[in-house]
A and B are shown apart, each in its own frame.
Chain A
């Protein structure tokens, strides 16, 4: 393999995919913890129960946050180590959002994480609620700056071409309020809430099925199912729909490849299932509905939807098959999420029948991995759809890699990450399962830093 860019891409893809398993939960959970702390702050007889529920999720949050930080720091550095060509080309623009993330998000998160996890006894109920708010604001701000960085790569705005052929920032406001980015941010954050809701609901369902921690379990299921329904609907409509329309408008090649549409024409059919055969330019074994794609993309059934044949082949995404599957998996799972959470919410509203409906509880328990898959598939759709560009339409991916880092070095570090992340993943799952096995009952606020609260932690 003398193509170093391939190894750089593989390493970035591996490390970012692994990394994003953690922030999608912490960003979603930060909102739900804030909801629980708000319910506790209202006072009343259930305040203690909500505080205890929050304490449990703060412990889960802490572990995930640590993994998110540990796997996130390499992402920042890889812009320089592996993608030095890109950093030089676009650093004048994307340097702003990446640096602002540190200044306006990471400091907020890192400062108040210890207060949230260890400081409940020091700061009192209002202070602890504020710490939950700070974590929520910090983690969502962090997401904003990263999305705006990505949005510039997807849909560059606010730049000018410098005399040396590199980009300079021309309009700061246009860049940080990139309309593509605002749509992508809404879609991504709601997607994170889907993951958070499903995980909270799944843990509650697990306790109900086992008949333990019943009071907390009902709270988890109720919060998880209601937030899960709201977020599952929002992630499809309006945010996902809007995002798809933007892709159709600005990245026609990506949109065509996502749908497996090789040829243009009116009354465009939507492919539900089928295997893209790129060599023959067709979908094998297709299950299709005519006209629907035209309607989804442009709002009318007869509209001509351009296929890949309208895009020069050197500008086609370079992995059409994976892009097609990633998009279809995301959309398919999203549809199932709405159905499952809709059913669960109905049962919850029907005098709490959900709490005794074992089949639905089982479904909620077994569903928790799928939002992770859907979020990952969504990012794969966005990033594979952007190919072969690093900055869409302007700068090709192969030109962005560090010019002097050879494949031997890139593979060395990729193997290193694979080993470290395997060990971390195993230990993380073991620690999380211990936390879940211990459960929320009897969790007290920690007395000092580094000494978890709760009686049964031996």
Chain B
């Protein structure tokens, strides 16, 4: 049951990155591929009906983490206190930007919110990437299982660590490039008009960046956490994830060359899912790993504050809710792909 919930939580966070990732990437990219109001409206129309639902996946993933592993949620959110609030303020900026923009048809007003939307959409992947980097590197846990990180110390991934060091900054940059590239594959597939062609041109250079950074970050991760290298042979799921990620990258390049935009987008989804799946498989059963020299051990799926019975109860309602959510997503995507009726 603990293993199953570790998988469910990992699945939910991966789904969040894949889904909200494309609208975050599209938001970060849109100032560069959509130059006038009509083009920017096309971007917003492409992500508009979906982004809110995609963002809810973050809340649902956080909820799954809370119900299954409350100690990990409590330690993680309070430990990254300031960084979490930067995330929250960016989420506020994004949500308000996209809603307020359309209410006033005035270039200054719209230009302002477009920049708010773009900047907050670009900062979020950096923060998420850095947060994942922090977890992979490990945090200085106390004997009671708490930690508190300042934003930076000496920028090296060794004690006393801060939220930002060269490794976590590299993860943040990698996350930004990967999600902007992901957003480009979405914009090259979904909207009509000139934005689609302009975005299609960006897919290849952006994914070239991904193809360079991906091996780099993998090597860096093995340097920061050499134990993982030793553990890898016994982790078939990690190999599977890596294979999926590599196949995804290849698919993006091949499909882009053949102008198959949907296949490229799906390849991009596979890349993100494979990479995050491999990461989760490597970290298992740790949720909040400890950096070297910590007073306390890592918080793992087995001791993060829940019981077998509690997890079984949660699985009961989760198994009811999840299919319903999938149905909503299908309905919403069908409705918004449908042509508009003449009579209102």
Is A74 interfacial (CB 8 A cutoff)?
yes
Is A96 interfacial (CB 8 A cutoff)?
yes
Known A102-B59, A451-B41: A409·B52 in contact at CB below 8 Å: no
Contacts of A102 in B (CB 8 A): 56, 59-60, 62-63
- A377 CB to closest chain B CB (Å) equals 26
Is B100 interfacial (CB 8 A cutoff)?
yes
Is B229 interfacial (CB 8 A cutoff)?
no
The interface residues of chain B, by DSSP majority, are classed as helix
A-B contact count (CB 8 A): 235
The contact of B314 among A67, A73, A96, A448, by CB within 8 Å, is A96
**Chain B interface: which of A78-86, A249-257, A292-300?**
A78-86
Contacts of A100 in B (CB 8 A): 63, 317, 321
1/0 contact trace for A392-420 toward B, CB 8 Å?
00000000001111000100110010001
> Looking across the interface, which residue of chain B has its beta carbon closest to that of A127?
B335
Known A76-B59, A77-B88: A111·B99 in contact at CB below 8 Å: no
Known A76-B59, A121-B340: A91·B74 in contact at CB below 8 Å: yes
Q: Is the CB of A96 within 8 A of B313?
A: yes
Q: Is the CB of A444 within 8 A of B331?
A: no
* Interface residues of B, count at CB 8 A: 75
Q: For window 1-56 of chain B, which residues contact chain A by CB distance below 8 Å? A: 41, 44-45, 48-50, 52-53, 55-56
Q: For window 86-101 of chain B, which residues contact chain A by CB distance below 8 Å? A: 88-89, 91-92, 95-96, 99-101
Contacts of A81 in B (CB 8 A): 77-78, 81, 84-85
Known A70-B91, A77-B88: A104·B321 in contact at CB below 8 Å: yes
Please indicate which of the listed interface residues B70, B71, B91, B316 has the most CB atoms of chain A within 10 Å of its own CB.
B70
Q: Is the CB of B63 within 8 A of A121?
A: no
Known A119-B335, A431-B103: A80·B48 in contact at CB below 8 Å: no
Is B156 interfacial (CB 8 A cutoff)?
no
Is B217 interfacial (CB 8 A cutoff)?
no
Is A114 interfacial (CB 8 A cutoff)?
yes
Considering the chains assembled together, what is the distance between the CA atoms of A82 and B82 in angstroms? 11
Contacts of A379 in B (CB 8 A): none
Considering the chains assembled together, what is the distance between the CA atoms of A127 and B144 in angstroms? 53
Contacts of B84 in A (CB 8 A): 77, 80-81
Q: Is the CB of A412 within 8 A of B82?
A: yes
Q: Is the CB of A114 within 8 A of B73?
A: no
- B136 CB to closest chain A CB (Å) equals 20
The contact of B344 among A62, A96, A120, A403, by CB within 8 Å, is A120
Q: Is the CB of B336 within 8 A of A92?
A: no
Contacts of B52 in A (CB 8 A): 69, 110, 113-114
Q: Is the CB of A88 within 8 A of B48?
A: no
Is B302 interfacial (CB 8 A cutoff)?
no
**Chain B interface: which of A165-173, A311-319, A343-351?**
A165-173
Considering the chains assembled together, what is the distance between the CA atoms of A122 and B340 in angstroms? 5
Q: Is the CB of A70 within 8 A of B49?
A: no
Q: Is the CB of B306 within 8 A of A92?
A: yes
Is B102 interfacial (CB 8 A cutoff)?
yes
Is A263 interfacial (CB 8 A cutoff)?
no
- A157 CB to closest chain B CB (Å) equals 15
Contacts of B49 in A (CB 8 A): 114-115, 118-119, 449
Contacts of B324 in A (CB 8 A): 103-104, 107
Q: Is the CB of B96 within 8 A of A66?
A: yes
Is A291 interfacial (CB 8 A cutoff)?
no
Is B227 interfacial (CB 8 A cutoff)?
no
Is B122 interfacial (CB 8 A cutoff)?
no
Q: Is the CB of B45 within 8 A of A449?
A: yes
Please tell me the size bucket of the interface on A.
35 or more
> Looking across the interface, which residue of chain B has its beta carbon closest to that of A71?
B92
Q: For window 101-153 of chain A, which residues contact chain B by CB distance below 8 Å? A: 101-104, 106-108, 110-115, 118-124, 127
- A413 CB to closest chain B CB (Å) equals 5
1/0 contact trace for B300-344 toward A, CB 8 Å?
000001110110011011100110110011011001101111011
Q: Is the CB of A121 within 8 A of B344?
A: yes
> Looking across the interface, which residue of chain A has its beta carbon closest to that of B314?
A96
1/0 contact trace for B180-191 toward A, CB 8 Å?
000000000000
Known A103-B321, A162-B307, A450-B45: A91·B73 in contact at CB below 8 Å: yes
Contacts of B100 in A (CB 8 A): 66, 427, 431
Q: Is the CB of A91 within 8 A of B341?
A: no
> Looking across the interface, which residue of chain A has its beta carbon closest to that of B67?
A95
Considering the chains assembled together, what is the distance between the CA atoms of A124 and B56 in angstroms? 27
Q: For window 427-458 of chain A, which residues contact chain B by CB distance below 8 Å? A: 427, 431, 434-435, 444-445, 447-452, 457-458
Is B66 interfacial (CB 8 A cutoff)?
yes
Is A340 interfacial (CB 8 A cutoff)?
no
The contact of B59 among A73, A96, A111, A168, by CB within 8 Å, is A73
- A143 CB to closest chain B CB (Å) equals 16
Considering the chains assembled together, what is the distance between the CA atoms of A412 and B89 in angstroms? 13
Contacts A95-B66, A114-B48 supplied; 15 other A-B pairs, CB < 8 Å = A73-B59, A74-B85, A88-B305, A96-B314, A98-B63, A114-B49, A119-B335, A122-B341, A124-B341, A168-B310, A172-B313, A434-B104, A435-B103, A452-B102, A452-B103
Q: Which residues of A contact B (CB under 8 A)?
A: 62-63, 66-67, 69-71, 73-74, 76-77, 79-82, 84-85, 87-88, 91-92, 95-96, 98-104, 106-108, 110-115, 118-124, 127, 162, 166, 168-169, 172, 402-405, 409, 412-413, 416, 420, 424, 427, 431, 434-435, 444-445, 447-452, 457-458
Q: Return the 3 tightest CB-CB contacts between A and B, nearest first.
A: A91-B70, A80-B77, A99-B63
18 contacts between A and B (CB under 8 A): A67-B96, A74-B85, A79-B66, A80-B66, A80-B78, A84-B75, A88-B305, A99-B66, A100-B321, A104-B317, A106-B59, A106-B60, A107-B328, A111-B328, A404-B147, A404-B148, A447-B340, A450-B45
